[in-house]
Amino acid sequence: MTSTSAPLRLNPDRLLPPDPGLRAIARGLYESVRDLPILSPHGHVDAQLLLADEPFGDPASLLVAPDHYVTRLLHASGVPLETLGVGRGSLTGAEAREAWRQVCTHWHVFRGTPVRYWLDSELSQIFGITERPSAKNADDLYDRISACLEADDFRPRALFARFGVEVLATTDDPCDDLRAHEQLAADHGFGGRVIPTFRPDRYLDPSAGGWAEAVGALGAVAGTDIGDFAGYVAALEERRRYFIEHGAVSADHGHVDARTDPLEVSDAARIYRAALAGTASDAEAVAFRRHMLLEMARMSCDDGLVMTIHPGALRGHHPTTAARFGPDTGHDIPVRTEYTRALRPLLDRFGEHPNLHLVLFTLDETVWSRELAPLAGFYPSVYVGAPWWFLDAPDAIRRFRDAVTETAGFSRTSGFIDDTRAFCSIPARHDMSRRVDCGYLAQLVAEHRMDLDEAYETATELVVTNPRRVFKL
Amino acid sequence: MTSTSAPLRLNPDRLLPPDPGLRAIARGLYESVRDLPILSPHGHVDAQLLLADEPFGDPASLLVAPDHYVTRLLHASGVPLETLGVGRGSLTGAEAREAWRQVCTHWHVFRGTPVRYWLDSELSQIFGITERPSAKNADDLYDRISACLEADDFRPRALFARFGVEVLATTDDPCDDLRAHEQLAADHGFGGRVIPTFRPDRYLDPSAGGWAEAVGALGAVAGTDIGDFAGYVAALEERRRYFIEHGAVSADHGHVDARTDPLEVSDAARIYRAALAGTASDAEAVAFRRHMLLEMARMSCDDGLVMTIHPGALRGHHPTTAARFGPDTGHDIPVRTEYTRALRPLLDRFGEHPNLHLVLFTLDETVWSRELAPLAGFYPSVYVGAPWWFLDAPDAIRRFRDAVTETAGFSRTSGFIDDTRAFCSIPARHDMSRRVDCGYLAQLVAEHRMDLDEAYETATELVVTNPRRVFKL
Amino acid sequence: MTSTSAPLRLNPDRLLPPDPGLRAIARGLYESVRDLPILSPHGHVDAQLLLADEPFGDPASLLVAPDHYVTRLLHASGVPLETLGVGRGSLTGAEAREAWRQVCTHWHVFRGTPVRYWLDSELSQIFGITERPSAKNADDLYDRISACLEADDFRPRALFARFGVEVLATTDDPCDDLRAHEQLAADHGFGGRVIPTFRPDRYLDPSAGGWAEAVGALGAVAGTDIGDFAGYVAALEERRRYFIEHGAVSADHGHVDARTDPLEVSDAARIYRAALAGTASDAEAVAFRRHMLLEMARMSCDDGLVMTIHPGALRGHHPTTAARFGPDTGHDIPVRTEYTRALRPLLDRFGEHPNLHLVLFTLDETVWSRELAPLAGFYPSVYVGAPWWFLDAPDAIRRFRDAVTETAGFSRTSGFIDDTRAFCSIPARHDMSRRVDCGYLAQLVAEHRMDLDEAYETATELVVTNPRRVFKL
């Protein structure tokens, strides 16, 4: 390192309100929850990673290539996705080094974003880096992180323990055999709880590419004849049972809209047959998918899986990139989303069912005050999901509490969800949430809208009580 | 009371900005308006309550059962509405006590909500309670409030005077004979001004249950033959005249959308006949309702009744609850709402009419900066209604001023509306509004966007000048 | 002046955060950018004004009549537009004085609005006024401003230099011969850079009044046979070339929606012929206009003109006013606007084209976090336009940074756009933006989300680097 590198320092009061009076209150609240365990009921880490417990390969494969939060803004800044290693499997040393260099060279484009905040935290707290990344120190930082990654205490399980993760939910295909989860649970050398999540999107939407084949595979793993609609439903039920047996607590749904209009069973069965034969119309496929979301709620009432819904992403907005680099490569773009009418059929039937926990996430923050808080403030089954994707950042989290609390309070919110494929960012993400929520509570205390003892109690509830209750952990 | 109850204290600076400099400015502004009279131009208190002036029955019937702001969040928390006395008429002592116990036991779910703030204020300022409600002290508080309610100075008229209410508008059915208002006005023992509001929704919407019967009843009270459209219009005009004669200053409209597309008179007449005969299509019923909203604006130009519109609530979202407990039981849920195009026919015709005052409320806060402030910033007839239902809370009121002021200033806003059936919450609601608005003004002063003398003048305008001017009081 | 006039004073810390710690940081940042030159890449000043360099006529013609920001709120307050001189050409002395009197008499209606802030700045900094306008001092202020306007150093070019304008873009009709720009550029007595902007809306939308005649005129100035679609496209290309030759850097597009659905060329050609013949249907006209927006993007890839899009204004909301006073008279009202799906065809084709700079403005702030920041955070061609029309004010600018930064950072935003016809408000508008952005940066520094050196660098980037880069200045 040359002497001219700017320092990278994590201020202990970061993200707390600047006003001295507020900061003092917020600091106390934060200290009371800082070291509580991490509950991560929704995310995208691969269970195999923890099962294998191999050393992470290199800084770019760990921190850059798989994380569309990082790569999208670099792409916008003119760095080709291939240079960042997106969608390429393993990288050569030179490729990984170059990808990392691009991150460091473009460090300024992340100013003010949560990616910058998370990377700062990871570099400082996990890897002990004390200089701000730049073109100049990129290679040096690469070498130092690489050296860390070779050490045993930087292997996945060691980090898992160091991060204080109590529960980590993965997101899994219904056909997955969950072998990794099973072996991890049986492994007495691993103390963590890693649970699968049932994510059936592609099996519910006949317009998804390869749907008929996917349903065929589902029937095969479920041991069910999926030749008719009843068998298809039974296959889904069977796989949910299998997931529950392997520790799953929730099923996750991410279609473009949240509609749950019912079909007559005979119509559903007819469309199902047509879809298998490849003759269902676009409108029929959509109607079927909406009916199946309702059916998933029915199953959740029966088997108790928490139902999470996060509609409103237009996937693969840039077809060229999707074709070349695959899904989840940074160009899923939000669209306006409706919940009040969309969920009415579901809530009419199941909204007061004691087994149903329905957690509603959004990429469209306009629904927080208008739809989600009002729904969660009446229906005992409904919870407002924490700020998520594009909104999991300090200012957005404040807007979330500001928009939701006055109608739904704190008890009707889900607790933080990191939703990440970036394993090393998990503690930074949860820490961010704790800091910002404590800042919000401090504001309520300073405005005499809440007493201090209540704020302390609420801070803990948001971090551990709510996630445990809402996700049945 | 045991010694372990947490205290309930109202800090004199509550809701004012925590920054010491801002707080000092805000405090001065607030002190200048704190004791100004309450003008309540829109609400749901029953005039009969003040006419009869009977003691309130019990704490639950007064504070819980009729107030869907309170019961909805308890319902979400698993308390059945019947336990809270919703839709049940009078409660036995044991039932009322149990409903109150539920409120106290679930006190924490209201943290951060305005309901908590209002109840704190009511318990402290009206009933002299000094302990925070809890399961432990629920019975004791019940007894103490009950004892208050037996005293003469807790009767409705005594509280009305103590609250400093100068004008209280009720919301009334066009067929109402307004006897209570008439007798109150004639009662020299009562000094208050209690005025009716014309609320014709169910008479304008042929798709509403029992529309034809309602229109028949309207014709009967108006002494008008409603067999044809002209007679129906005349009946509405006659009832407006009757309301005005009894002190009404406004007509209130709350359909699901705000559209005002005109029909040819011949089409309106044809649909009217079909609707009476029960043969109008759904589309015709909607078209008729929209035409009639335009017609209401025409009448307002003629007779001078202020027109308030608050679209965007999907009523009775949970049909099971609606069937069992009736309307206004906590499950009206907002939907996205449009005003710019919807009101264009109305504003094209009447937007510059000197008699028209059109106050636009919303449950969809996205329209504040995008539609309502721009409309009120051009049309002399249009005013932005104060934050209302789901948005009548500190953070939302701040967002309102933040979103509206820069385009429409302060003079184009209506002044606060309590919109409540909870009689005892009226002073707390108006006080909340005064505090938050003074905080906003203090911010403008501290940022040198407004001079201090102007802030003092504006604070008073928001509390008394604007409501008097906008609602022609 | 009587001794009772309130003072008009510009506090040096205006618009900076009131918290003392934040203010100190913000003040430093602001001082570092306060005196940087003004880059104004989008606005509505007339180049002829600077070419002629005649003295401004009178205070009302300069500050009131042409500025719908000023006149709309006066109209809402009951002042007829004709009294304000709107749409009337030159005013008599008495008329101008009366228009100015109305502004002063209604000074209070501007409280809390940016118009008030801009006028305060102009009166104080340009004209040396030290009293707050009122009915009482209106005539005196009129006389003093009038006296200034007679002096040489208040002529347009002198003010241009005094304001520190480095680049000023005008907005021009594609048929404009740009003689004024040409002569200004050739005038060695004028050191400024005044560049045209290509604004082809009315030539792209067959439903606009007089479209066929306009297209005919376009063909004439382009020297192109516009009898068929290819000739029409060639005429547009030719005029863009002409504009570029005269210094243009951007083309500006303001249709009611942002859709870019492609037509087959044969369909475009067929609709074009029908539109010329006056037989195109409404739907065909809309389809053609959307196709042509896509075609404009194609041309921008070819010729490098920056493409700015600002959809979502429903023009001429009040037809009576439009008929009497013309366009741009204060009653264009925003409507909800969609970008994600609307721009997908354009971005699918050209989103990664190195020549394309696409700046997306909005009047619907809900799209900032939901659509614009996600788009600009992935596509290298997309930039989020600065807060604009109805949103170019302190609170809105804060909401903009709050909503956009966490997803798109600072580098993907355009820099400030004054978008004004009010020449004298240009420095006040840019200064407002600098102050508010520095306040936002100070907040990030105080919350330890950004280091101070980065904040200084970013402050400068927002003022000069981003506009130069984004607008290719």
Architecture of the domain whose range is C157-209+232-263+282-470: Alpha-Beta Barrel (3.20)
Which of the other chains make 3 or more beta carbon contacts under 8 angstroms with chain C? A, B
Q: How far is B351 from chain C (nearest CA, A)?
A: 8
| Cβ-Cβ contacts under 8 Å for A86 (sequence gap 6 or more) | A65, A71, A325, A329, A330
Best interface-test mutation with C: which of A73, A111, A362, A367 has the largest number of C CBs within 10 A? A111
**In the numeric block, which tokens belong to residue A362?**
């959004």
Residue type, B248: A
Ranges of chain C whose pLDDT falls below 50: 1-2
Distance CA A65, CA A71 (A): 7
C240: exposed, middle or buried (Cβ count in 10 Å: 0-12, 13-18, 19+): buried
Best interface-test mutation with A: which of C29, C257, C370, C469 has the largest number of A CBs within 10 A? C370
* Residue extents of the structural domains in chain C: 55-154, 157-209+232-263+282-470
Check B112 against A410: CB less than 8 A apart. Answer: yes
Taking residues A240-244, report their average pLDDT.
Answer: 98
Q: Residue B135 carries which DSSP code? A: T
Measured CA distances, C295 to A46, C201, C301 (Å): 45, 13, 10
Distance CA B387, CA B238 (A): 32
Q: Which of A19, A32, A144 is nearest to A454 (CA)?
A: A32
Measured CA distances, A176 to A40, A179, A204, A263, C448 (Å): 20, 8, 16, 29, 43
- CB contact A377 to B (< 8 Å): yes
Counted across chains A and C, CB pairs separated by less than 8 A come out at 134
**In the numeric block, which tokens belong to residue C121?**
């700045």
Distance CA B291, CA B286 (A): 9
Cα dihedral angle (A337, A342, A343, A346), rounded to 10 degrees? Answer: -150
Check C76 against B378: CB less than 8 A apart. Answer: yes
Q: Which of C259, C252, C284 is nearest to C269 (CA)?
A: C284
Check A132 against C451: CB less than 8 A apart. Answer: yes
Check A112 against C348: CB less than 8 A apart. Answer: no
- CB contact B370 to C (< 8 Å): yes
Q: How far is C385 from chain B (nearest CA, A)?
A: 17
**Per-block average pLDDT, block size 10, for chain B (473 residues)?**
79 98 98 98 96 96 93 98 91 96 98 97 98 98 97 97 98 98 95 96 95 98 97 98 98 98 98 97 98 98 98 97 95 98 98 98 98 98 97 98 98 96 96 98 98 98 98 97
Q: Are B194 and B181 in contact (CB under 8 A)?
A: yes
pLDDT 10s digits, A170-182: 999 999 999 999 9
Check B403 against C394: CB less than 8 A apart. Answer: no
Check C330 against B378: CB less than 8 A apart. Answer: yes
Architecture of the domain whose range is A58-154: Orthogonal Bundle (1.10)
Considering only CB atoms, B18 lies closest to which of A370, A447, A454, namely: A447
Interior angle at CA B429, CA B423 and CA B434, nearest 5:
145
| Cβ-Cβ contacts under 8 Å for B54 (sequence gap 6 or more) | B155, B156
Cross-strand bridge partners of residue B382: B358
Q: Are C226 and C239 in contact (CB under 8 A)?
A: no
Q: Are A416 and A41 in contact (CB under 8 A)?
A: no
Considering only CB atoms, B370 lies closest to which of C76, C364, C395, namely: C364
Question: Which residues of A fall within a CB distance of 8 Å from B395?
Answer: 402-403, 405-406
pLDDT 10s digits, A366-414: 999 999 999 999 999 999 999 999 999 999 999 999 999 999 999 999 9
State yes or no: ipTM above 0.90: yes
**Which residue of chain C is at minimal alpha-carbon distance from B353?**
C78
Q: Which of C471, C356, C306, C408 is nearest to A74 (CA)?
A: C408
Q: Are A262 and A294 in contact (CB under 8 A)?
A: yes
Considering only CB atoms, A371 lies closest to which of B76, B114, B334, namely: B334
- CB contact B467 to A (< 8 Å): no
Question: Which residues of A fall within a CB distance of 8 Å from C403?
Answer: 395
A188: exposed, middle or buried (Cβ count in 10 Å: 0-12, 13-18, 19+): exposed
Q: What is the mean pLDDT of chain A?
A: 97
Q: What is the reported pLDDT for A1?
A: 42
Q: Are A6 and A129 in contact (CB under 8 A)?
A: no
Measured CA distances, A262 to A377, B377, C157 (Å): 25, 44, 69
**In the numeric block, which tokens belong to residue B353?**
């009419």
Q: Which of A133, A121, A99, A109 is nearest to A7 (CA)?
A: A133
Taking residues A76-102, report their average pLDDT.
Answer: 95
Indicate the CATH number for domain B157-470.
3.20.20.140
Instruction: Give contacts of B 165-224 with A, CB under 8 A.
Output: none
Question: Which residues of A fall within a CB distance of 8 Å from C458?
Answer: 111-112
Indicate the CATH number for domain C55-154.
1.10.2020.10
- CB contact C18 to B (< 8 Å): yes
Q: What is the reported pLDDT for C87?
A: 86
Residue-wise DSSP of C357-386:
-EEE--S-TTHIIIIIHHHHTT-TTEEEPP
Measured CA distances, A18 to A31, C25, C302 (Å): 17, 12, 49
Distance CA C352, CA C297 (A): 12
Q: Are A64 and A100 in contact (CB under 8 A)?
A: yes
Instruction: Give contacts of B 301-360 with C, CB under 8 A.
Output: 338, 340-341, 344, 347-348, 351-352
Residue type, A304: G
Q: Are C226 and C199 in contact (CB under 8 A)?
A: no
Check C380 against A77: CB less than 8 A apart. Answer: yes
| Cβ-Cβ contacts under 8 Å for B82 (sequence gap 6 or more) | B88, B325
- CB contact A15 to B (< 8 Å): no
Q: How far is B108 from chain A (nearest CA, A)?
A: 8
Distance CA C245, CA C200 (A): 17
A400-429 in b/e form (b: 16+ CB < 10 A) is: bbbbbbbbbbbbbbbbbbbbbbbbbbbbbb
Question: Which residues of C fall within a CB distance of 8 Å from B448?
Answer: 10-11, 13-15
| Cβ-Cβ contacts under 8 Å for C113 (sequence gap 6 or more) | B405, B406, B407, B408, B409, C73, C393
**In the numeric block, which tokens belong to residue B149?**
């309610």
Q: For residue C72, how far is the Cα from the chain centroid?
A: 17
| Cβ-Cβ contacts under 8 Å for A182 (sequence gap 6 or more) | A246
**In the numeric block, which tokens belong to residue C87?**
């749409």
What CATH homologous superfamily does B56-154 map to?
uronate isomerase, domain 2, chain A (1.10.2020.10)
Distance CA B9, CA A442 (A): 18
**In the numeric block, which tokens belong to residue A288?**
């079927």
H-helix or E-strand spanning residue A165: strand A165-169
Q: What is the reported pLDDT for A360?
A: 98
pLDDT 10s digits, C374-399: 999 999 999 999 999 999 999 999 99
Q: Are C361 and C310 in contact (CB under 8 A)?
A: yes
- CB contact A393 to C (< 8 Å): yes
Measured CA distances, A438 to A163, A441, B33 (Å): 20, 5, 33
| Cβ-Cβ contacts under 8 Å for A423 (sequence gap 6 or more) | A45, A49, A62, A156, A159
pLDDT 10s digits, A303-349: 999 999 999 999 999 999 999 999 999 999 999 999 999 999 999 99
